[in-house]
Every structure is written in structure tokens, then in C-alpha cells.
Amino acid sequence: MKSHKTILITGAAGGIGRATVALFTEKGWHVIGVDRNVFGDEFPQNGLFIQADISRPEDMQSIFEKAHAFDNSLDALVNNAAMQVAKPLIKTTVEEWDAVMAANLRSVFLGVKLAYPLLKTNGGAVVNVSSVHAIQTSANIAAYAASKGGLLALTRAMAIEFAPDNIRVNAILPGAVDTPMLRAGLGRGHVGGENVQDRLDNLARKTVNGRVGTPEEIAHAIYFLADNEQSSFMTGQALVIDGGATARLSTE
């Protein structure tokens, strides 16, 4: 039996991804990070960074070939990479719709399929990063919301299919978290403000906790679901982490 655990994290160079890489490394895991963007020299020395586009099936095949060469088993897979198109549905092109589905949904189907032989060796865990937009959403983000809703259904289906192999599959649904994706999407008109910081502050006031979340807070939730010692009796579940935003009636 190997002396360490290994995890593969997609979207590793983003806000939540970087925090997740850091936390698992701190906990002694070996991390395989994947992102289409460069991570930088600070990626853990005992890990492996793969620059690739998870929306491309040929890249996915290459990712898991390299992962298998790095380690013959995976203890966890975190499907965190995503893209967002923030525009009205009637102005969303077929190409944009397909690009969102390829990055946010098809990549998870294919990634788990390719990771399956590595995950079943030790009975690993899959954590899918969905979104509160899967259950409550707003205007001008239909493709993203649809992809994240589909990810919840896929999570349940995979949990059922993989239970005999002792592979757990769960999802987290982050609300507003201070990441580059959130800041880029603040211009779609759902919160007012003259600039990005004003819009971020106005968004924070809409949550019960009165603030947006941090990537580190989401990373800790991912760790809880990925670690078999902490969440061994959880599978097929969706964990909402949104500062209470979905608990409040929209009419209040």
C-alpha cells in the first residue's frame, strides 16, 4: 500500500483550484493539477501540472495517460474546471452553448470514465463542483445554469453506478465566491454598482452572512467530501455553500 494519497484537480490555476491545490498539498496529498492556463513555478514539487483543455476529448485522454504514469491509482478526482457565458439566452450562439456544455458537463462524463480504473483501485472519491445556479439562478446565464444543473443529475447517476466499486460521488454548490470568474461575471446586470468592487460589495449584502465566500472555504468543503475518513457515508449528495443566499426568500 502506498504511503500517500493522490488527487487530480481540474481548473487548478483558478481561484478555487489554487486554494484546493494548496490545501491538499498541506494535508500531505500528491496533487495532479490540470488547467488550460499556466499555473506558475509555485506548483507543488511532489505533484504534476498538466496544461490542457478539458473541453477537448483528445486532451482528456492525454491527461489521464499522464496521470496513470505519475501514479497507478487516484484517491480523489475534483471536477472543478468550468467556463461561463454571461449573455441573454436569445443572444447565445450554438457555438457558445456547446462550448459551455463541453467544458462544464461533457468533461466530467469523460473525465470520470477515464479516471474510473484509477479510482476503483483504492475506492476513491469524486467531487463535482456545481453551483447554486443549478437550483436557483438569474437572467443572462442560462447555459451555465443548465450545465451545472446537469452536473447534479450526473452526480447522482454516477454515485449509483460506482457504489459497488466503493467510489463515492458528491457535488458542492458554491454561491458567490471571490474568484476571477465571479468578478468577470459581475457585469451581467444582476447587481448594481459603478465598478467591480461596488458590485462585489452589493452582492455581498445580498447574502445572509453579509459577505462573499473565499476560495479557501470552498477548498475545505472539497477536502471534506474527498477524504474517505471524513465523509465515508456520503454519496450522491449536493452540499450548498453559499453564505445562506438560497435560504432567503427572494421576496424578502
**What residues are annotated to the active site?**
144
Query: Could you tell me where the DSSP H helices lie in the chain?
Result: 15-26, 57-70, 94-101, 107-119, 142-162, 180-185, 196-205, 215-226
> What is the number of structural domains in the chain?
1
Is the pLDDT at 192 greater than 90? The verdict is no
Look at residue 184 and tell me if it is in a domain: no
Look at residue 251 and tell me if it is in a domain: no
**What confidence tier does 40 reach under pLDDT thresholds 50, 70, 90?**
confident
* Spatial distance between the Cα atoms of 67 and 49, rounded to a whole number of angstroms: 10
The CATH number for 17's domain is 3.40.50.720
Look at residue 247 and tell me if it is in a domain: no
- Asked if residue 174 lies in contact with residue 242, where contact means CB atoms within 8 angstroms, the answer is yes
Residues in Cβ contact with 135 at an 8 Å cutoff, skipping those fewer than 6 apart? 149, 152, 173, 240, 246
**pTM, entire model:** 0.92
Residues in Cβ contact with 232 at an 8 Å cutoff, skipping those fewer than 6 apart? 168
Look at residue 1 and tell me if it is in a domain: no
Look at residue 132 and tell me if it is in a domain: yes
Q: Which domain holds residue 127?
A: 6-175+218-242
Is the pLDDT at 204 greater than 70? The verdict is no
Give the pLDDT confidence score for residue 157 in this predicted structure. Answer: 98
pLDDT tens by residue, 130-167: 999 999 998 999 999 999 999 999 999 999 999 999 99
